[in-house]
Chains A and B, each alone.
Chain A
Amino acid sequence: MNNNSGENMKPVIFVENLTKVFGKFTAVNSISFEVNKGEIFGFLGANGAGKTTAMKMLCGLLKPTSGRGSVAGFDITREPERVKANIGYMSQRFSLYDDLRVWENFRLFGGIYGLKEREISQTTERMLHELGFTQERNTMVKSLPAGWKQKLAFSVAIIHNPGIVFLDEPTGGVDPKARRQFWELIYDAAERGITIFVTTHYMDEAEYCSRVSIMKDGAIDALDTPANLKLKYGAKSMDEVFYQLANSKR
Protein backbone atom coordinates (compact mmCIF):
# COMPACT_ATOMS: atom_id res chain seq x y z
CA MET A 1 0.00 0.00 0.00
CA ASN A 2 2.96 2.33 0.67
CA ASN A 3 4.74 1.32 -2.50
CA ASN A 4 3.76 3.24 -5.59
CA SER A 5 5.88 1.34 -8.09
CA GLY A 6 4.09 0.19 -11.23
CA GLU A 7 4.25 -3.47 -10.25
CA ASN A 8 2.33 -2.97 -7.03
CA MET A 9 -0.32 -0.82 -8.60
CA LYS A 10 -1.47 -3.67 -10.81
CA PRO A 11 -4.69 -5.12 -9.43
CA VAL A 12 -4.39 -8.51 -7.75
CA ILE A 13 -7.79 -9.46 -9.12
CA PHE A 14 -9.02 -8.19 -12.44
CA VAL A 15 -12.36 -9.43 -13.73
CA GLU A 16 -14.27 -8.37 -16.84
CA ASN A 17 -17.77 -9.52 -17.81
CA LEU A 18 -17.23 -12.81 -16.00
CA THR A 19 -20.19 -15.11 -16.61
CA LYS A 20 -21.15 -18.67 -15.68
CA VAL A 21 -24.20 -20.41 -17.08
CA PHE A 22 -25.44 -23.80 -15.86
CA GLY A 23 -27.96 -25.09 -18.42
CA LYS A 24 -30.62 -22.40 -18.55
CA PHE A 25 -29.53 -20.81 -15.27
CA THR A 26 -27.14 -17.87 -15.25
CA ALA A 27 -25.38 -18.16 -11.89
CA VAL A 28 -22.95 -15.30 -12.50
CA ASN A 29 -24.03 -12.60 -14.90
CA SER A 30 -21.25 -10.52 -16.42
CA ILE A 31 -19.52 -9.20 -13.33
CA SER A 32 -16.57 -6.81 -13.56
CA PHE A 33 -14.34 -5.51 -10.78
CA GLU A 34 -10.78 -5.08 -9.57
CA VAL A 35 -9.16 -5.71 -6.22
CA ASN A 36 -5.92 -3.92 -5.33
CA LYS A 37 -2.92 -5.18 -3.40
CA GLY A 38 -3.34 -5.11 0.36
CA GLU A 39 -7.08 -4.50 0.17
CA ILE A 40 -9.59 -6.33 2.34
CA PHE A 41 -12.33 -6.96 -0.18
CA GLY A 42 -15.72 -8.06 1.19
CA PHE A 43 -17.76 -10.17 -1.20
CA LEU A 44 -21.33 -10.06 0.08
CA GLY A 45 -24.66 -11.32 -1.12
CA ALA A 46 -27.65 -13.42 -0.16
CA ASN A 47 -27.55 -17.24 -0.19
CA GLY A 48 -27.82 -18.31 -3.83
CA ALA A 49 -26.73 -14.94 -5.25
CA GLY A 50 -23.78 -16.54 -7.06
CA LYS A 51 -20.92 -15.79 -4.66
CA THR A 52 -19.61 -19.34 -4.44
CA THR A 53 -19.72 -19.82 -8.22
CA ALA A 54 -17.86 -16.54 -8.76
CA MET A 55 -15.30 -17.48 -6.14
CA LYS A 56 -14.71 -20.90 -7.69
CA MET A 57 -13.95 -19.24 -11.03
CA LEU A 58 -11.53 -16.82 -9.35
CA CYS A 59 -9.73 -19.72 -7.67
CA GLY A 60 -9.31 -21.62 -10.93
CA LEU A 61 -11.73 -24.37 -9.89
CA LEU A 62 -14.45 -23.61 -12.43
CA LYS A 63 -14.13 -22.50 -16.03
CA PRO A 64 -16.08 -19.33 -16.92
CA THR A 65 -18.70 -19.55 -19.67
CA SER A 66 -17.56 -16.16 -20.93
CA GLY A 67 -15.67 -13.08 -19.87
CA ARG A 68 -12.15 -13.02 -18.53
CA GLY A 69 -10.18 -12.47 -15.41
CA SER A 70 -6.77 -12.65 -13.81
CA VAL A 71 -5.84 -13.47 -10.24
CA ALA A 72 -2.36 -12.96 -8.78
CA GLY A 73 -1.18 -12.17 -12.31
CA PHE A 74 -2.45 -15.35 -13.95
CA ASP A 75 -5.34 -15.85 -16.34
CA ILE A 76 -8.13 -17.77 -14.66
CA THR A 77 -9.22 -19.50 -17.89
CA ARG A 78 -5.82 -20.35 -19.41
CA GLU A 79 -3.68 -20.78 -16.28
CA PRO A 80 -5.96 -22.17 -13.54
CA GLU A 81 -3.15 -24.32 -12.07
CA ARG A 82 -0.86 -21.34 -11.66
CA VAL A 83 -3.71 -19.40 -10.09
CA LYS A 84 -4.20 -22.23 -7.56
CA ALA A 85 -0.50 -22.33 -6.70
CA ASN A 86 -0.42 -18.59 -6.01
CA ILE A 87 -3.46 -18.11 -3.84
CA GLY A 88 -4.52 -19.21 -0.37
CA TYR A 89 -7.98 -20.60 0.30
CA MET A 90 -9.89 -21.25 3.46
CA SER A 91 -13.46 -22.45 3.69
CA GLN A 92 -15.77 -22.65 6.66
CA ARG A 93 -16.41 -26.36 6.33
CA PHE A 94 -13.22 -27.95 5.16
CA SER A 95 -9.93 -26.47 6.11
CA LEU A 96 -7.80 -28.69 8.33
CA TYR A 97 -7.44 -32.43 8.82
CA ASP A 98 -8.95 -33.32 12.20
CA ASP A 99 -7.01 -36.55 12.48
CA LEU A 100 -3.62 -34.93 12.01
CA ARG A 101 -1.63 -33.08 14.62
CA VAL A 102 -1.20 -29.31 14.36
CA TRP A 103 2.33 -29.52 12.94
CA GLU A 104 1.30 -32.29 10.54
CA ASN A 105 -1.32 -30.02 8.99
CA PHE A 106 1.34 -27.37 8.38
CA ARG A 107 3.65 -30.05 6.97
CA LEU A 108 0.94 -31.39 4.65
CA PHE A 109 -0.20 -28.06 3.23
CA GLY A 110 3.36 -26.73 3.00
CA GLY A 111 4.24 -29.84 1.01
CA ILE A 112 1.23 -29.43 -1.28
CA TYR A 113 2.36 -25.90 -2.06
CA GLY A 114 5.86 -27.15 -2.82
CA LEU A 115 7.72 -25.54 0.08
CA LYS A 116 11.05 -27.03 1.15
CA GLU A 117 11.23 -29.02 4.38
CA ARG A 118 13.23 -26.29 6.13
CA GLU A 119 10.92 -23.52 5.00
CA ILE A 120 7.96 -25.47 6.31
CA SER A 121 9.41 -26.05 9.75
CA GLN A 122 10.63 -22.46 10.08
CA THR A 123 7.31 -21.03 8.96
CA THR A 124 5.41 -23.43 11.21
CA GLU A 125 7.41 -22.38 14.26
CA ARG A 126 7.04 -18.68 13.44
CA MET A 127 3.29 -18.97 12.91
CA LEU A 128 2.70 -21.04 16.04
CA HIS A 129 4.72 -18.52 18.00
CA GLU A 130 2.70 -15.58 16.64
CA LEU A 131 -0.54 -17.35 17.51
CA GLY A 132 0.71 -18.33 20.96
CA PHE A 133 0.08 -21.98 20.05
CA THR A 134 3.63 -23.35 20.44
CA GLN A 135 2.52 -25.75 23.16
CA GLU A 136 -0.14 -27.20 20.90
CA ARG A 137 2.11 -28.26 18.06
CA ASN A 138 1.59 -31.97 18.82
CA THR A 139 -2.13 -31.70 19.58
CA MET A 140 -4.64 -33.44 17.34
CA VAL A 141 -6.61 -30.77 15.50
CA LYS A 142 -9.92 -32.40 16.43
CA SER A 143 -9.38 -31.73 20.12
CA LEU A 144 -8.87 -27.98 19.64
CA PRO A 145 -11.68 -25.46 20.29
CA ALA A 146 -13.37 -24.18 17.13
CA GLY A 147 -12.00 -20.66 17.52
CA TRP A 148 -8.44 -22.02 17.56
CA LYS A 149 -9.09 -24.16 14.51
CA GLN A 150 -10.20 -21.10 12.54
CA LYS A 151 -7.00 -19.27 13.38
CA LEU A 152 -4.85 -22.29 12.52
CA ALA A 153 -6.74 -22.81 9.28
CA PHE A 154 -6.02 -19.22 8.32
CA SER A 155 -2.30 -19.62 9.05
CA VAL A 156 -2.18 -22.84 7.06
CA ALA A 157 -3.95 -21.09 4.16
CA ILE A 158 -1.15 -18.52 3.96
CA ILE A 159 1.80 -20.83 4.73
CA HIS A 160 3.13 -20.35 1.16
CA ASN A 161 2.91 -16.55 1.53
CA PRO A 162 0.42 -16.06 -1.30
CA GLY A 163 -0.35 -12.63 -2.76
CA ILE A 164 -4.01 -13.16 -2.03
CA VAL A 165 -6.10 -15.35 0.22
CA PHE A 166 -9.76 -16.28 -0.34
CA LEU A 167 -11.80 -16.74 2.82
CA ASP A 168 -15.24 -18.29 2.34
CA GLU A 169 -17.39 -17.48 5.39
CA PRO A 170 -14.45 -17.96 7.73
CA THR A 171 -16.43 -16.85 10.80
CA GLY A 172 -19.73 -18.67 10.24
CA GLY A 173 -21.05 -19.92 13.58
CA VAL A 174 -18.08 -18.46 15.46
CA ASP A 175 -18.86 -16.57 18.66
CA PRO A 176 -18.49 -12.75 18.81
CA LYS A 177 -15.17 -12.80 20.58
CA ALA A 178 -13.46 -15.39 18.39
CA ARG A 179 -14.76 -13.53 15.32
CA ARG A 180 -12.99 -10.38 16.40
CA GLN A 181 -9.76 -12.20 17.15
CA PHE A 182 -9.98 -13.72 13.70
CA TRP A 183 -10.41 -10.31 12.09
CA GLU A 184 -7.29 -9.08 13.83
CA LEU A 185 -5.37 -11.85 12.06
CA ILE A 186 -6.90 -10.67 8.80
CA TYR A 187 -5.77 -7.12 9.48
CA ASP A 188 -2.23 -8.23 10.33
CA ALA A 189 -2.03 -10.22 7.10
CA ALA A 190 -3.35 -7.27 5.07
CA GLU A 191 -0.74 -5.00 6.68
CA ARG A 192 1.93 -7.42 5.52
CA GLY A 193 0.60 -6.90 1.98
CA ILE A 194 -1.55 -10.02 1.59
CA THR A 195 -4.74 -9.15 -0.25
CA ILE A 196 -7.86 -10.52 1.44
CA PHE A 197 -10.99 -11.62 -0.42
CA VAL A 198 -13.63 -12.55 2.14
CA THR A 199 -17.30 -13.53 2.22
CA THR A 200 -19.42 -13.11 5.33
CA HIS A 201 -23.00 -12.88 6.53
CA TYR A 202 -22.05 -10.73 9.51
CA MET A 203 -22.69 -7.15 8.50
CA ASP A 204 -20.46 -5.68 11.21
CA GLU A 205 -17.61 -7.50 9.47
CA ALA A 206 -18.55 -5.78 6.21
CA GLU A 207 -17.59 -2.54 7.96
CA TYR A 208 -14.05 -3.86 8.47
CA CYS A 209 -13.45 -4.20 4.72
CA SER A 210 -11.66 -1.63 2.56
CA ARG A 211 -14.35 -2.12 -0.08
CA VAL A 212 -17.33 -4.41 -0.42
CA SER A 213 -19.38 -5.68 -3.32
CA ILE A 214 -22.95 -6.90 -2.92
CA MET A 215 -24.19 -9.56 -5.30
CA LYS A 216 -27.80 -10.22 -6.17
CA ASP A 217 -29.15 -12.68 -8.72
CA GLY A 218 -25.73 -13.22 -10.25
CA ALA A 219 -24.83 -9.55 -10.71
CA ILE A 220 -22.91 -7.04 -8.60
CA ASP A 221 -25.47 -4.47 -7.48
CA ALA A 222 -23.14 -2.27 -5.47
CA LEU A 223 -19.40 -1.88 -5.03
CA ASP A 224 -17.69 0.77 -2.95
CA THR A 225 -16.16 1.53 0.44
CA PRO A 226 -18.56 0.91 3.35
CA ALA A 227 -18.59 4.67 4.06
CA ASN A 228 -19.60 5.56 0.49
CA LEU A 229 -22.26 2.84 0.34
CA LYS A 230 -23.85 4.09 3.53
CA LEU A 231 -23.80 7.63 2.15
CA LYS A 232 -25.30 6.55 -1.16
CA TYR A 233 -28.16 4.60 0.43
CA GLY A 234 -28.69 7.04 3.30
CA ALA A 235 -28.08 4.15 5.70
CA LYS A 236 -26.61 4.15 9.20
CA SER A 237 -25.02 0.71 8.90
CA MET A 238 -24.03 -1.89 6.30
CA ASP A 239 -26.89 -3.97 7.63
CA GLU A 240 -29.33 -1.35 6.33
CA VAL A 241 -27.51 -1.11 2.99
CA PHE A 242 -27.84 -4.87 2.61
CA TYR A 243 -31.59 -4.87 3.35
CA GLN A 244 -32.27 -1.99 0.99
CA LEU A 245 -30.46 -3.73 -1.84
CA ALA A 246 -32.03 -7.11 -1.11
CA ASN A 247 -35.53 -5.68 -1.15
CA SER A 248 -35.10 -3.49 -4.21
CA LYS A 249 -36.37 -4.79 -7.51
CA ARG A 250 -34.07 -4.62 -10.43
Chain B
Amino acid sequence: MKSSDISVEAKGVSKNYSSVKALDDLSLSVQKGEMFGLIGPDGAGKSTLFRILTTLILPDSGVATIEGFDIKRDYKSIRRIIGYMPGRFSLYGDLTVDENLSFFASVFNVKVADNYPLIENIFKDIAPFGSRRASRLSGGMKQKLALSCALIHKPSVLFLDEPTTGVDPVSRREFWQMLERLKTYGITIVVSTSYMDEALLCDRVALIKEGRVLSSDSPRGVIDSYQNTLLAIWGDDMHSLLKELRSYNEVKSVYSFGQEHHIAIDKKLYNHNYIDSLTQKLEERGERNFHIKVIAPTIEDCYMEFSANKEGYE
Protein backbone atom coordinates (compact mmCIF):
# COMPACT_ATOMS: atom_id res chain seq x y z
CA MET B 1 0.00 0.00 0.00
CA LYS B 2 1.49 3.34 -1.06
CA SER B 3 1.30 5.97 1.63
CA SER B 4 -0.62 8.18 -0.78
CA ASP B 5 -3.38 5.56 -0.84
CA ILE B 6 -3.92 5.87 2.88
CA SER B 7 -6.73 8.08 4.08
CA VAL B 8 -6.75 7.49 7.84
CA GLU B 9 -3.86 6.15 9.83
CA ALA B 10 -3.36 5.69 13.57
CA LYS B 11 -0.12 4.40 15.08
CA GLY B 12 0.23 3.41 18.73
CA VAL B 13 -2.57 5.70 19.89
CA SER B 14 -3.28 5.62 23.64
CA LYS B 15 -5.71 7.60 25.72
CA ASN B 16 -6.47 7.36 29.43
CA TYR B 17 -9.33 8.88 31.37
CA SER B 18 -8.02 9.00 34.96
CA SER B 19 -7.62 5.29 35.73
CA VAL B 20 -9.50 3.99 32.67
CA LYS B 21 -7.52 2.97 29.60
CA ALA B 22 -9.79 3.99 26.73
CA LEU B 23 -7.28 3.34 23.93
CA ASP B 24 -4.25 1.14 24.42
CA ASP B 25 -1.56 1.38 21.74
CA LEU B 26 -4.13 1.22 18.95
CA SER B 27 -3.07 1.14 15.30
CA LEU B 28 -5.09 0.95 12.13
CA SER B 29 -5.08 2.26 8.60
CA VAL B 30 -7.91 2.97 6.21
CA GLN B 31 -7.43 3.27 2.47
CA LYS B 32 -8.82 6.06 0.36
CA GLY B 33 -12.40 5.41 -0.69
CA GLU B 34 -12.76 2.50 1.68
CA MET B 35 -15.82 1.73 3.80
CA PHE B 36 -14.20 0.79 7.09
CA GLY B 37 -16.21 -0.62 10.01
CA LEU B 38 -15.32 -0.43 13.70
CA ILE B 39 -17.01 -3.07 15.76
CA GLY B 40 -16.56 -3.85 19.40
CA PRO B 41 -18.36 -3.97 22.73
CA ASP B 42 -19.61 -0.91 24.56
CA GLY B 43 -16.72 0.85 26.19
CA ALA B 44 -14.18 -0.63 23.74
CA GLY B 45 -12.95 2.85 22.88
CA LYS B 46 -14.67 3.39 19.53
CA SER B 47 -16.07 6.82 20.36
CA THR B 48 -12.76 7.94 21.88
CA LEU B 49 -11.03 6.95 18.66
CA PHE B 50 -13.56 8.97 16.65
CA ARG B 51 -12.98 12.01 18.85
CA ILE B 52 -9.22 11.76 18.41
CA LEU B 53 -9.39 11.27 14.63
CA THR B 54 -11.77 14.21 14.30
CA THR B 55 -9.30 16.39 16.32
CA LEU B 56 -11.73 16.99 19.18
CA ILE B 57 -9.41 15.51 21.80
CA LEU B 58 -5.70 14.72 21.87
CA PRO B 59 -4.24 11.28 22.47
CA ASP B 60 -1.83 10.81 25.40
CA SER B 61 0.63 9.21 23.00
CA GLY B 62 0.83 7.94 19.44
CA VAL B 63 0.30 9.65 16.11
CA ALA B 64 -2.52 9.81 13.62
CA THR B 65 -3.03 11.35 10.22
CA ILE B 66 -6.06 12.11 8.06
CA GLU B 67 -5.32 12.44 4.34
CA GLY B 68 -1.69 13.03 5.30
CA PHE B 69 -2.50 15.78 7.82
CA ASP B 70 -1.30 15.36 11.39
CA ILE B 71 -4.11 15.44 13.97
CA LYS B 72 -2.09 17.69 16.30
CA ARG B 73 -0.24 20.01 13.97
CA ASP B 74 -2.73 20.25 11.11
CA TYR B 75 -6.02 20.07 12.98
CA LYS B 76 -7.38 23.11 11.14
CA SER B 77 -6.82 21.50 7.75
CA ILE B 78 -8.35 18.25 8.95
CA ARG B 79 -11.51 19.94 10.20
CA ARG B 80 -12.12 21.35 6.73
CA ILE B 81 -12.00 17.98 4.99
CA ILE B 82 -13.87 15.68 7.36
CA GLY B 83 -17.51 15.14 8.17
CA TYR B 84 -18.49 13.77 11.57
CA MET B 85 -21.75 12.37 12.82
CA PRO B 86 -21.46 11.74 16.56
CA GLY B 87 -23.37 8.97 18.32
CA ARG B 88 -25.85 11.31 19.88
CA PHE B 89 -28.14 13.52 17.83
CA SER B 90 -26.12 16.70 17.75
CA LEU B 91 -28.02 19.09 15.54
CA TYR B 92 -29.77 22.14 16.83
CA GLY B 93 -33.22 21.03 17.91
CA ASP B 94 -34.55 24.57 18.01
CA LEU B 95 -33.48 25.30 14.45
CA THR B 96 -35.54 24.11 11.51
CA VAL B 97 -34.35 21.50 9.05
CA ASP B 98 -33.36 24.19 6.52
CA GLU B 99 -31.71 26.35 9.18
CA ASN B 100 -29.57 23.45 10.39
CA LEU B 101 -28.37 22.73 6.88
CA SER B 102 -27.61 26.41 6.14
CA PHE B 103 -25.84 26.75 9.47
CA PHE B 104 -23.48 23.85 8.82
CA ALA B 105 -22.87 25.09 5.27
CA SER B 106 -21.95 28.55 6.57
CA VAL B 107 -19.59 27.11 9.18
CA PHE B 108 -17.66 25.49 6.34
CA ASN B 109 -17.94 28.54 4.16
CA VAL B 110 -19.93 26.88 1.40
CA LYS B 111 -23.40 27.45 0.02
CA VAL B 112 -26.02 24.71 0.34
CA ALA B 113 -26.39 24.78 -3.44
CA ASP B 114 -22.65 24.14 -4.01
CA ASN B 115 -22.71 20.49 -3.00
CA TYR B 116 -26.43 19.84 -3.13
CA PRO B 117 -26.10 17.02 -5.71
CA LEU B 118 -24.10 15.06 -3.12
CA ILE B 119 -26.88 15.16 -0.53
CA GLU B 120 -29.87 15.42 -2.85
CA ASN B 121 -30.74 11.77 -2.58
CA ILE B 122 -30.65 11.89 1.21
CA PHE B 123 -32.16 15.31 1.73
CA LYS B 124 -35.07 15.00 -0.69
CA ASP B 125 -37.06 12.92 1.83
CA ILE B 126 -36.82 15.60 4.50
CA ALA B 127 -36.93 18.63 2.21
CA PRO B 128 -40.75 18.80 2.46
CA PHE B 129 -40.30 19.33 6.21
CA GLY B 130 -37.81 22.16 5.75
CA SER B 131 -39.57 24.49 8.15
CA ARG B 132 -40.03 21.89 10.90
CA ARG B 133 -37.81 22.10 13.97
CA ALA B 134 -35.18 19.38 14.02
CA SER B 135 -36.28 18.25 17.49
CA ARG B 136 -39.67 17.33 16.05
CA LEU B 137 -38.40 14.97 13.36
CA SER B 138 -38.80 11.18 13.63
CA GLY B 139 -35.69 9.11 14.32
CA GLY B 140 -35.13 8.15 10.69
CA MET B 141 -35.50 11.74 9.49
CA LYS B 142 -33.11 13.08 12.13
CA GLN B 143 -30.58 10.60 10.84
CA LYS B 144 -30.95 11.85 7.28
CA LEU B 145 -30.63 15.47 8.36
CA ALA B 146 -27.54 14.72 10.43
CA LEU B 147 -25.93 12.94 7.48
CA SER B 148 -26.82 15.81 5.14
CA CYS B 149 -25.24 18.32 7.54
CA ALA B 150 -22.10 16.18 7.85
CA LEU B 151 -21.78 16.11 4.06
CA ILE B 152 -22.68 19.64 3.03
CA HIS B 153 -19.03 20.72 2.61
CA LYS B 154 -18.23 17.58 0.57
CA PRO B 155 -15.71 16.04 2.97
CA SER B 156 -13.00 13.61 1.86
CA VAL B 157 -13.47 11.48 4.97
CA LEU B 158 -16.72 10.79 6.77
CA PHE B 159 -16.79 9.58 10.39
CA LEU B 160 -20.05 7.99 11.55
CA ASP B 161 -20.32 6.92 15.19
CA GLU B 162 -23.14 4.34 15.49
CA PRO B 163 -25.34 6.11 12.96
CA THR B 164 -28.09 3.48 12.99
CA THR B 165 -28.60 2.84 16.70
CA GLY B 166 -32.32 3.02 17.42
CA VAL B 167 -33.16 3.02 13.71
CA ASP B 168 -35.65 0.46 12.39
CA PRO B 169 -34.55 -2.28 9.94
CA VAL B 170 -36.04 -0.66 6.86
CA SER B 171 -34.57 2.80 7.51
CA ARG B 172 -31.28 1.12 8.35
CA ARG B 173 -31.17 -0.55 4.97
CA GLU B 174 -31.94 2.80 3.30
CA PHE B 175 -29.18 4.46 5.28
CA TRP B 176 -26.62 1.95 4.06
CA GLN B 177 -27.77 2.36 0.49
CA MET B 178 -26.99 6.07 0.91
CA LEU B 179 -23.51 5.22 2.18
CA GLU B 180 -22.95 3.00 -0.85
CA ARG B 181 -23.79 5.96 -3.08
CA LEU B 182 -21.37 8.19 -1.20
CA LYS B 183 -18.63 5.68 -1.87
CA THR B 184 -19.05 6.29 -5.58
CA TYR B 185 -17.93 9.88 -4.91
CA GLY B 186 -14.69 8.48 -3.51
CA ILE B 187 -15.47 9.50 0.06
CA THR B 188 -13.68 7.43 2.70
CA ILE B 189 -16.12 6.26 5.35
CA VAL B 190 -15.25 5.13 8.88
CA VAL B 191 -18.34 3.81 10.64
CA SER B 192 -18.96 2.08 13.96
CA THR B 193 -21.89 -0.24 14.50
CA SER B 194 -23.33 -2.84 16.83
CA TYR B 195 -25.26 -4.46 13.97
CA MET B 196 -23.30 -7.34 12.52
CA ASP B 197 -25.27 -7.35 9.27
CA GLU B 198 -23.85 -3.86 8.69
CA ALA B 199 -20.30 -5.04 9.35
CA LEU B 200 -20.81 -7.36 6.40
CA LEU B 201 -21.38 -4.34 4.14
CA CYS B 202 -17.96 -2.83 4.91
CA ASP B 203 -14.86 -3.36 2.78
CA ARG B 204 -12.89 -4.08 5.92
CA VAL B 205 -13.68 -4.18 9.61
CA ALA B 206 -11.60 -3.78 12.74
CA LEU B 207 -12.70 -5.69 15.82
CA ILE B 208 -11.90 -3.47 18.79
CA LYS B 209 -11.81 -4.50 22.39
CA GLU B 210 -10.42 -2.75 25.47
CA GLY B 211 -8.86 -0.06 23.34
CA ARG B 212 -6.97 -2.39 21.02
CA VAL B 213 -7.55 -3.73 17.51
CA LEU B 214 -7.88 -7.51 17.78
CA SER B 215 -8.24 -8.09 14.08
CA SER B 216 -8.55 -6.03 10.95
CA ASP B 217 -9.66 -7.79 7.80
CA SER B 218 -12.37 -8.06 5.16
CA PRO B 219 -15.61 -9.53 6.50
CA ARG B 220 -14.86 -12.64 4.43
CA GLY B 221 -11.40 -12.85 5.96
CA VAL B 222 -12.82 -12.57 9.46
CA ILE B 223 -15.29 -15.37 8.75
CA ASP B 224 -12.62 -17.59 7.17
CA SER B 225 -10.45 -17.27 10.26
CA TYR B 226 -13.13 -18.82 12.49
CA GLN B 227 -11.55 -21.66 14.46
CA ASN B 228 -14.40 -23.85 15.73
CA THR B 229 -16.91 -26.26 14.29
CA LEU B 230 -20.28 -24.59 14.50
CA LEU B 231 -23.61 -26.36 15.02
CA ALA B 232 -27.13 -25.01 14.96
CA ILE B 233 -29.78 -26.49 17.24
CA TRP B 234 -33.47 -25.69 17.32
CA GLY B 235 -36.38 -27.30 19.11
CA ASP B 236 -39.34 -26.94 21.45
CA ASP B 237 -37.74 -25.64 24.62
CA MET B 238 -34.96 -23.32 23.52
CA HIS B 239 -34.23 -21.90 26.96
CA SER B 240 -33.78 -25.31 28.53
CA LEU B 241 -31.54 -26.43 25.62
CA LEU B 242 -29.37 -23.36 26.14
CA LYS B 243 -28.84 -24.05 29.84
CA GLU B 244 -28.21 -27.74 29.27
CA LEU B 245 -25.64 -27.20 26.52
CA ARG B 246 -23.78 -24.62 28.60
CA SER B 247 -22.89 -27.35 31.10
CA TYR B 248 -21.05 -29.53 28.55
CA ASN B 249 -17.25 -29.46 28.58
CA GLU B 250 -16.61 -29.74 24.86
CA VAL B 251 -19.00 -26.86 24.17
CA LYS B 252 -16.94 -23.67 23.96
CA SER B 253 -19.97 -21.43 23.80
CA VAL B 254 -23.70 -21.48 23.11
CA TYR B 255 -25.58 -18.37 22.10
CA SER B 256 -29.05 -17.79 20.79
CA PHE B 257 -29.24 -16.63 17.18
CA GLY B 258 -32.86 -15.86 16.45
CA GLN B 259 -34.76 -19.11 16.11
CA GLU B 260 -31.64 -21.26 16.65
CA HIS B 261 -28.80 -21.60 19.11
CA HIS B 262 -25.28 -21.72 17.73
CA ILE B 263 -22.96 -24.16 19.46
CA ALA B 264 -19.21 -23.69 19.05
CA ILE B 265 -17.24 -26.92 19.43
CA ASP B 266 -13.47 -27.10 19.54
CA LYS B 267 -12.42 -28.55 16.15
CA LYS B 268 -10.14 -31.08 17.85
CA LEU B 269 -13.03 -32.45 19.90
CA TYR B 270 -15.40 -32.73 16.97
CA ASN B 271 -15.81 -35.89 14.86
CA HIS B 272 -18.48 -37.35 12.60
CA ASN B 273 -20.16 -39.14 15.52
CA TYR B 274 -20.47 -36.01 17.57
CA ILE B 275 -24.01 -34.97 16.54
CA ASP B 276 -25.33 -38.47 17.29
CA SER B 277 -23.73 -38.59 20.71
CA LEU B 278 -24.89 -35.06 21.53
CA THR B 279 -28.43 -35.98 20.47
CA GLN B 280 -28.35 -39.02 22.72
CA LYS B 281 -26.98 -37.06 25.65
CA LEU B 282 -29.66 -34.39 25.33
CA GLU B 283 -32.41 -36.99 25.04
CA GLU B 284 -31.17 -38.71 28.20
CA ARG B 285 -31.51 -35.35 29.92
CA GLY B 286 -35.14 -35.16 28.84
CA GLU B 287 -34.85 -32.80 25.86
CA ARG B 288 -37.33 -33.62 23.10
CA ASN B 289 -38.11 -32.50 19.55
CA PHE B 290 -34.86 -30.80 18.61
CA HIS B 291 -32.68 -30.80 15.51
CA ILE B 292 -28.94 -30.28 15.10
CA LYS B 293 -26.86 -29.56 12.01
CA VAL B 294 -23.44 -28.22 11.06
CA ILE B 295 -23.53 -24.65 9.76
CA ALA B 296 -21.13 -22.02 8.41
CA PRO B 297 -20.29 -19.19 10.81
CA THR B 298 -21.61 -15.67 10.32
CA ILE B 299 -19.64 -12.58 11.22
CA GLU B 300 -21.65 -12.41 14.44
CA ASP B 301 -20.36 -15.85 15.45
CA CYS B 302 -16.83 -14.57 14.84
CA TYR B 303 -17.51 -11.53 16.98
CA MET B 304 -18.74 -13.73 19.84
CA GLU B 305 -15.63 -15.86 19.53
CA PHE B 306 -13.35 -12.83 19.56
CA SER B 307 -14.95 -11.30 22.60
CA ALA B 308 -14.88 -14.63 24.43
CA ASN B 309 -11.22 -15.34 23.69
CA LYS B 310 -9.92 -12.18 25.21
CA GLU B 311 -12.01 -12.20 28.31
CA GLY B 312 -10.56 -15.20 30.08
CA TYR B 313 -13.91 -16.35 31.48
CA GLU B 314 -17.00 -17.69 29.85
Are B196 and A176 in contact, CB atoms less than 8 angstroms apart? yes
Cα of A179 to Cα of B255 in the assembled complex, Å: 10
Cα of A92 to Cα of B166 in the assembled complex, Å: 9
Interface centre among A147, A204, A243, A246 (most CB of B within 10 A): A204
A47-B167, A201-B166 given; name 17 further pairs at CB < 8 Å.
Answer: A48-B138, A49-B168, A145-B43, A147-B43, A176-B194, A176-B300, A177-B255, A177-B307, A179-B194, A187-B239, A191-B239, A204-B258, A207-B259, A243-B169, A243-B173, A246-B169, A247-B170
30 residue pairs bridging A and B, Cβ less than 8 Å apart = A46-B140, A46-B170, A47-B138, A47-B167, A47-B168, A48-B139, A147-B42, A173-B87, A173-B194, A174-B42, A175-B39, A175-B40, A175-B41, A175-B42, A175-B303, A176-B300, A177-B303, A178-B41, A178-B42, A180-B256, A183-B256, A201-B168, A201-B169, A204-B257, A204-B258, A207-B258, A208-B258, A226-B259, A227-B259, A239-B169
Given the complex, which residues of B lie within 8 Å of A172, measured CB to CB?
165-166
Cα of A45 to Cα of B255 in the assembled complex, Å: 25
Residue B278 lies at the interface, judged by CB distance under 8 Å to chain A: no
The size bracket of the interface on A is 35 or more
Given the complex, which residues of B lie within 8 Å of A178, measured CB to CB?
41-42
The size bracket of the interface on B is 35 or more
Residue in B138, B162, B165, B255 whose CB lies within 8 Å of A180: B255
Residue A203 lies at the interface, judged by CB distance under 8 Å to chain B: yes
* Smallest beta-carbon distance A78→chain B, Å: 31
Cα of A204 to Cα of B298 in the assembled complex, Å: 13
**Chain A residue with Cβ nearest B238:** A208
A147/B255 contact (C-beta < 8 A), A173-B162, A176-B300, A191-B239 known: no
Residue in A46, A169, A173, A208 whose CB lies within 8 Å of B42: A173
Residue B51 lies at the interface, judged by CB distance under 8 Å to chain A: no
Given the complex, which residues of A lie within 8 Å of B87, measured CB to CB?
173
Given the complex, which residues of B lie within 8 Å of A226, measured CB to CB?
259
Are A176 and B304 in contact, CB atoms less than 8 angstroms apart? yes
Tell me the residues in window 204-250 of chain A with beta carbons closer than 8 Å to chain B beta carbons. 204, 206-208, 226-227, 237-239, 242-243, 246-247
**Chain B residue with Cβ nearest A187:** B239
Residue A146 lies at the interface, judged by CB distance under 8 Å to chain B: yes
Are B169 and A203 in contact, CB atoms less than 8 angstroms apart? yes
**Chain B residue with Cβ nearest A202:** B195
**Chain A residue with Cβ nearest B260:** A207
Residue B252 lies at the interface, judged by CB distance under 8 Å to chain A: no
Residue B172 lies at the interface, judged by CB distance under 8 Å to chain A: yes
Are B171 and A169 in contact, CB atoms less than 8 angstroms apart? no
Q: Which 8 A-B pairs have the closest CB atoms?
A: A146-B42, A48-B138, A173-B165, A207-B258, A47-B139, A204-B258, A175-B41, A46-B168
Cα of A176 to Cα of B304 in the assembled complex, Å: 7
Cα of A237 to Cα of B258 in the assembled complex, Å: 8
* Smallest beta-carbon distance B42→chain A, Å: 3
